[in-house]
Chains A and B, each alone.
Chain A
Amino acid sequence: MKSAKKKFFVRKGIILSLCLAALMSVAGCGKYKMVTNVDELEGSRIGVQLGTTGDIYASDYEGDEAGTIIERYNKGNDAVQALKQKKIDAVIIDEEPAKAFVSKNSDLKILDEEFTVEDYAICISKENTELKNQINDALRKLKADGTLDAIIKNYTGSDDEKGKTPYAAKNIARPNGTIIVATNAAFPPYEYYSEGVMTGLDIDMMQAVCDTLGMTLKMEDMEFDSIIAAVQSGKATVGAAGLTVTEDRLKNIDFSDSYTTSKQVIIVKDPDAAASSTNLSEKFKDNFITESRWQYIAKGLGNTLIITLFAILIGCALGFLIAIVRTSYDKNGSMKILNAICRVYLTVIRGTPVMVQLLIIYYVILASVNTSKILVAVIAFGLNSAAYVAEVVRSGIMAVDNGQFEAGRSLGLNYRQTMVSIILPQAVKNILPALGNEFISLLKETSISGYIGLMDLTKGGDIIRSITYEAFMPLIAVALVYLVIVMALSFGVNKLERRLKKNER
């Protein structure tokens, strides 16, 4: 018996180490390869920003015999970071952002190979032809009077021209409404954060268009691959994010006339570059102190806390209601229809990822309404949490001995009174640890709020990352802040638990 058991463990150990070895070989298979020209892209690992023209070019290599791997990132900046860490071999990206990235990262260089020239344009819904014509008129005017040229030179011109001709919003009456512009502010010099505000070529260009049309400009920062969907659904009026006009995009969306041109280039690691040697305190200063960048985290933290707090309130209120409906049905068969509705609700909410729910609420259910994003997030996370709270509360109610219920009813209390004064207080005490757990998961789940362009804590860190090209500091800082909140939350729940337990000595 003993030896058989031992044998079993030995075999288990062998299998485990085999699995580990397999895993490590998979992880190690992507070995860094030096790319020196466009032909060497074959068989390398190419990083691109999801949904960009770079993605489209790179996709031609995908699945070839050389085994080219395409890594798609949400931000061009993430691809550059991956390249810096040799996770990938090359990044295909638009020329101007590439220049911006390389100028800030001495260990990177742009290859002297270029793809074809492409047009940047403003995307706009196919139904909105009138505005499209207005924008085209405005662009024509701006081209004619040299304004557009000045804006472009201010960002992409030679070193002498750069920063010399900044565009300032005109102080005029704006009677013709608002243009909401969807963008992805991690794409310098077209759009990026500087000193806490979104800035860049596209933004100045849109400001100039709005000034010409007598309209108000409102910028919305979101994921790059969400921009076209946002414009289609009406969440944004237009999209301006260094968008190239392509066949595929034209199927879904219309474009204005081109306002500038660009081309795709390849960024690789520069083998001659000396390793950058900034020390920790300098890095800290660069990430948090310069331009008061800590404010991105502070502001994000505020939003994260607001979303979590109100989502907990909605989740608890709705969750308790659902739990009571469900247990009433289980106990005495009442509220049949409500119970059925609740069951469908639980199935749908628990059966789909919260991120998908958030996107559906933002882009589908509240598509045509101009609600604040915080409200959207509160609703989405509140509705999601309610389903989990409901099941936790239900299990808590079921765990209370039925004799308690009978005692209450036999004294003349009705169902509701028995529930509220006798059952629920006992149930809450039992489920407090599970509820605390749910609140902690909820807090952490709000980190996906960035997907609807909301600046929460995680997104705040991401913005710093997109400015400083440094992953370590912002990510660790964000992680630490989450950790501290979770610890505070657990401490509170533990304290409450101990207080409620005092009658069980």
Chain B
Amino acid sequence: MSDNILDNNVLIEVKDLCKSFGNHEVLKGINTTISKGEVVAIIGPSGCGKSTFLRSINLLETPTSGMITFEGTDITDKSVDINKMREKIGMVFQQFNLFPNMTVKENIMLAPVKLQIMSKDDASKKAEELLQRIGLSDKADMYPAQLSGGQKQRIAIARSLAMNPDVMLFDEPTSALDPEMVGEVLSLMKELAKEGMTMVVVTHEMGFAREVASRVMFIDEGVIQEENTPEEFFANPKNARLKDFLAKVL
């Protein structure tokens, strides 16, 4: 632990993280460290706890026990203002969760303006920049219901980016998309990775994990069974469950 504090590249540190829903123990002690600029892909069979782990990082799920440190602050500590922490932890959902009663631009501007991080004008400028970047400037005044799934997810990413987060969490960002729309979302994520954004991605896209991730993590039965560079991970799996899993999905 002392090593990690000295190493100021460490962004997130997870120690003995456990989470139970009633009697059902989903996470049984997760230990890992995520450094700045890393792109961590989390894979595993459904129900293994990978989404629960991801959602614990910004406390959408409250851990039963264990510790999560973000930029040196233990966010499981009750006295920590979790809202302040979340401003720096972006999150992208499987179901996009855009606000249906607001235009695309209003979706992006809402948090920076409400949290008084930017003035309305600055937030508007920022939203226009982001929309330009994802190639959806012409959709600024449309409502989410008028957009395709791929467009919605790119806007959801832009909404997170508007807060200038230090890390982005992606919870199966392409699972709810039609196959022809997966590409546009993945290429945007690839771009972000290239620019050095720290990303934690729960995904079923093995291609993305292999190509973009700097580290791949396999979670099963509530623990990290194996983690490694993508090359080693896919070419040389050691864990028996992982071998089994890869045999099924590849």
Contact = CB atoms under 8 A, between A and B. Distances in A.
A246 B97 CA distance: 73
B143 interface: yes
B171 to A, nearest CB: 10
A271 interface: no
17 contacts: A406-B60, A407-B98, A410-B58, A410-B60, A410-B86, A411-B87, A411-B111, A412-B84, A417-B114, A421-B110, A422-B99, A422-B110, A425-B101, A500-B101, A503-B100, A505-B145, A505-B146
B95 interface: yes
Given A421-B110, A503-B143, A503-B145, A411 B97 contact: no
Interface in A388-442: 401, 403-404, 406-407, 409-414, 417, 421-422, 425-426, 429
Interface string B98-130: 111111000000110011000000000000000
Nearest to B99: A422
A457 to B, nearest CB: 38
A503 B101 CA distance: 6
B145 A412 contact: no
Contact of B86 (A401, A403, A411, A426): A411
B60 A409 contact: yes
Interface in B74-99: 83-84, 86-87, 89-91, 93, 95, 97-99
Contacts of B90: 410
Contacts of A411: 86-87, 110-111, 115, 159-160, 163
B159 A404 contact: no
A419 to B, nearest CB: 12
A504 interface: yes
Contacts of A413: 83, 111, 114-115
Interface of A: 401, 403-404, 406-407, 409-414, 417, 421-422, 425-426, 429, 500, 503-505
A114 to B, nearest CB: 75
A406 B99 contact: no
Contacts of B159: 411
Contact of B87 (A407, A412, A421, A426): A412
Given A410-B60, A411-B160, A403 B111 contact: no
Nearest to A405: B97
B100 A409 contact: no
Contacts of A401: 95, 97
A30 to B, nearest CB: 59
Contacts of B111: 411-413
A403 B83 contact: no
Contacts of A503: 100-103, 143, 145
Nearest to B88: A412
A362 to B, nearest CB: 42
Interface string B225-245: 000000000000000000000
Nearest to B90: A410
A413 B117 CA distance: 12
Interface in B187-238: none
Nearest to A403: B97
Contacts of B86: 409-412
B145 A421 contact: no
A412 B97 contact: no
A403 to B, nearest CB: 4
A406 B83 contact: no
Contacts of A406: 60, 91, 93, 97
A429 B101 CA distance: 9
